Structure 1
Amino acid sequence: MLGIIADDFTGGLMIAGYIEGAGIRCPVLFDSAEVASLEPCEVFVVGTRTRLAPATEAVADVEAIAERFDAAGCTRIAYKVCASFDSTDDGNIGPVADLLARRYRQRPLLLSAGFPRFGTTVHQGYLFYRARLVSESIKRFDPLTPMSDPDLVRTLSRQTRARVGLLPHSALHAGQGPADAHLAELAAEGFDYIMMDCSDDTDAAVGAQIASRDRTTIGSDAHIIALAKACAKGADGAGISAPVEATGPAAVLVGSVGPVALAQLAAFHQHHPVLTIDILDERPEDALVSNALRWADLHIGAQPLAITTATEQVRVDEAQLALGSVAAAKKAERLLARIAKGLVERGVRRLAVAGGETSGAVVEALGISRVRALPESALGTGFCIAETPLPLSLYLKPGKLGSDDILLRAVEAMAGGSNA
């Protein structure tokens, strides 16, 4: 088995959708204790909330999950990170790499970032986001993980004492044989970790084929999806049954910030009501949640609705200055998670959530421990079905992905396009 630890819920769900689309059954667990009761399968994902966790906390979480994976008989373990390698100098990708390399005596340890189909690529070790160096893209304004250095070898080297080398596009493009030879040279030179370029899907496929021989690896979407395909050769989808989607009223929750989230909310608001919660509102959180649910009571069942903490950048800056960047984000997550619970109690059965950390908070608040990802559709991935504790159709998406009308189309797509 290949056990995948995803550093956030939406990322784990996204790759599971692509893996299911390739004819490989891929359960998604949000509670690692579920690993013990998992039915036999070739690939599975455990979603976590380690992406923004302090390094010591993330390492402890990954180690605990790795122990469960080992007990379940996993022959390969992968840690899935964000395509844009979101991290600061205090980030946890390096420390998690140290843990996995030590635990599985993996040297060199292969790492890969990027997701070419969404414009995130790595060439000569430099990360590009939508055809621009990440340090010149909107990612440099990320409120929690501003990306100011595009050199991923240098970025990772600030998080670990291990020597970090680069397996470039030229070697990967030449095929597995030349890439293996180049990798052997790097290992002989004493490099402990090897960052692999991901200029295109070929780079990802060759890199994953090489990594499939190893006990453990770290990578983003393109690498992990290709790794799953390499580890589950011959899968034809036989016996994979589609889960039954839930029906009922729909709601949208947006905790992500930035221009992408605001554009998606604006498109949704052209057709349906939107409530914005000001996290600088000094009233108790109980009052803010109650007020939002009273507002929702006016619309549930009549039409889809959206509740958000997203706002213009100037207001985001004010909130971060007043509360601190992490505290501001956590408050938004708490509010939306409690509101999600209230919405489901009021009958909402189709729920779209934008933002990886927000999705994690919502899933935990709803007590969802396992979902089945739906294969990629015209709207991409992120759709899934939860059967317990209540049947729910969910769409969990990273905050910065999707067209302007994605939220509107998502609620219409769930359960056959019912508008209520």
Structure 2
Amino acid sequence: MRPTLGILADDFTGALMVACYLEGAGIYAPLVFDSAAIDGTSSVVVAGARTRTVAVDDALTQVEAFADAFIRAGYRAMVYKTSAGFDSTADGNIGQVADFLADRLELRPVLMAAGFPSFNITTHQGYLFYRGRLVSESIKRYDPLTPMSDPDLVRFLSLQTPHKVGLVDHSQVRKGPVAINEAILRLGDCGHVFLDVSDEADLAAVCAFAAGRGRVFVASDPVAVEYTKLLLGQQQVKPAPSHARGPAVVLAGTVGPVIGRQLDAFSCFYPVLTVDISDPRPVESLAADALEWACLHLAADRPFAVATSAGPDDVARSQTFLGPIGAARRAESILGTLARLLYQKGVRRFVVAGGETSGAVVSSLLVKSVRALPEGPLGTGFCVTEGADRTSFFLKPGKHGGDGLLLDVLRAMENGDS
């Protein structure tokens, strides 16, 4: 398999989603979390970084390490995979990453495309619609880390880069690759070009254009997947490893109504502990207390969950003391530390809720690479480390899934499903 494409995602759950979709499409797509694990033995490699909400310098340090590793291994085309709605703040980091990759590969303009039409997340005339509403009028405006208050993604992305961001809207995209190219030429000197994805036809047209043109693409999940499929076609998939055995735990660091309902459903059958992150004691002390509680249930061979928020009041209190970013980082640190302690006690199945929390847990366990399992009845999210001592994960974005998802995931892991 000749190295062709390196995909770098801005969080771990997004990276896993892309890898799962590619595996389901018959494309072997190893998923790595450490640039040292990139070896050029596959046509495409997916890398998970933690660049969405960190400081710009930290994000660019991560991107540089992965980009250099891609190039050394022979991957010359690159995708920076963002969330479907280009979740970010006015300070970054999408524009800055696009600038870095453009300079590193000496290629402008960088193509950009957001949206996920099958989930009713679309862009039209440069405006982002989240489940049929302007993102600024949707639940996304309440996101604690990346509240999307401006639906004009061209204007919003322009705050993150000194280069002009041009727009090729739906009326041009729908006409296909030739019309897209003509529209870009009319834009003149642009650092980046944003392309509408108003529907599935737009998605196909954008990917067809990108596959014949660019080596740098900033794209949401389905755009990255379709682009990869056009570049590579179907390939023989190596057999995936089976799920690990042993105790199972749910770790929930995300907040919001979706995970709240999922934990409520879970608590009807299994115990749930909520850690108060506004408790001023050190992270290690809070994790140790949670471990002592967890050991009671490990001894009884029962699944259990540990969360860092019981609802809106908890979120408001912790953010008052710590600020939104500080509260999120403290929650991630507690659950990451607890995951390491639980692993030492024999836990080998982890269900993790929240993209940033997933990054913290996987990093704490020093996992360098995993094999994603193809999309199944529960969607994407399952992956397994390869080797003799396997660990199974289900990494889910905070807003993903129905009320019974946590129970269904544990049942699937037990039955060896995906």
Aligned-partner Cα distance in 1 for 2:344–2:334: 16
CA shift, 1:119, in A, is 2.3
Given candidates 6, 22, 26, the residue that maps to 2:25 is 22
> Contact between 2:28 and 2:237, CA under 8 Å: does it hold in 1?
no
1:10-409 map, 5 Å: 10-35=13-38, 37-38=39-40, 40-186=41-187, 189-212=188-211, 213-233=213-233, 235-236=234-235, 238-300=236-298, 302-387=301-386, 390-409=389-408
Specify every segment of 5 or more residues in structure 2 that has no aligned partner in the other structure, as ranges: none
> Contact between 1:75 and 1:215, CA under 8 Å: does it hold in 2?
yes
Aligned-partner Cα distance in 2 for 1:56–1:343: 32
> Contact between 1:368 and 1:388, CA under 8 Å: does it hold in 2?
no
Q: CA RMSD in A?
A: 1.6
Aligned-partner Cα distance in 2 for 1:357–1:90: 18
Aligned residue for 1:307, secondary structure, equals strand
User: Quick one: percent identity of the two aligned structures?
Assistant: 50
CA shift, 1:314, in A, is 2.7
CA shift, 1:114, in A, is 1.3
Aligned residue for 2:413, secondary structure, equals helix
User: Residues 178-202 of structure 1, C-alpha deviation per residue, up to 9 Å, x if partnerless?
Assistant: 223223322xx22221111112222
Counterpart residue type for residue 147 of structure 1: M
Aligned residue for 1:324, secondary structure, equals helix
Aligned-partner Cα distance in 1 for 2:126–2:137: 16
> Contact between 2:15 and 2:46, CA under 8 Å: does it hold in 1?
yes
CA shift, 1:280, in A, is 1.1
Counterpart residue type for residue 113 of structure 2: S
> Contact between 1:258 and 1:310, CA under 8 Å: does it hold in 2?
no
Aligned residue for 1:44, secondary structure, equals strand
Aligned-partner Cα distance in 2 for 1:202–1:372: 31
Aligned residue for 1:241, secondary structure, equals coil
Aligned-partner Cα distance in 1 for 2:93–2:140: 18
Aligned residue for 2:297, secondary structure, equals coil
Specify every segment of 5 or more residues in structure 1 that has no aligned partner in the other structure, as ranges: none
Aligned-partner Cα distance in 1 for 2:12–2:161: 25
Aligned length: 412
Counterpart residue type for residue 315 of structure 2: V
> Contact between 2:31 and 2:372, CA under 8 Å: does it hold in 1?
yes
Counterpart residue type for residue 225 of structure 1: V
Aligned-partner Cα distance in 2 for 1:228–1:206: 14
CA shift, 1:159, in A, is 0.9
> Contact between 1:25 and 1:43, CA under 8 Å: does it hold in 2?
yes
CA shift, 1:175, in A, is 2.3
Q: Which sits farther off after the overlay, 96-105 or 140-149? A: 96-105
Aligned-partner Cα distance in 2 for 1:239–1:215: 25
CA shift, 1:388, in A, is 5.3
TM-score where L is the length of structure 2: 0.95
> Contact between 2:243 and 2:416, CA under 8 Å: does it hold in 1?
no
Name the counterpart of 2:9. 6
Counterpart residue type for residue 412 of structure 1: R
> Contact between 2:9 and 2:49, CA under 8 Å: does it hold in 1?
yes
User: Residues 4-35 of structure 1, C-alpha deviation per residue, up to 9 Å, x if partnerless?
Assistant: 11111110001100011000000000111111
Counterpart residue type for residue 330 of structure 1: R
Aligned-partner Cα distance in 1 for 2:76–2:112: 18
User: Residues 117-165 of structure 1, C-alpha deviation per residue, up to 9 Å, x if partnerless?
Assistant: 2222111111111111111111111111111000000000111111111
Counterpart residue type for residue 248 of structure 1: G
CA shift, 1:214, in A, is 1.0
Aligned-partner Cα distance in 1 for 2:310–2:146: 18
Q: Which sits farther off after the overlay, 285-294 or 69-78? A: 285-294
CA shift, 1:205, in A, is 2.0
Aligned-partner Cα distance in 2 for 1:270–1:404: 12
CA shift, 1:229, in A, is 0.5
Aligned residue for 2:342, secondary structure, equals helix
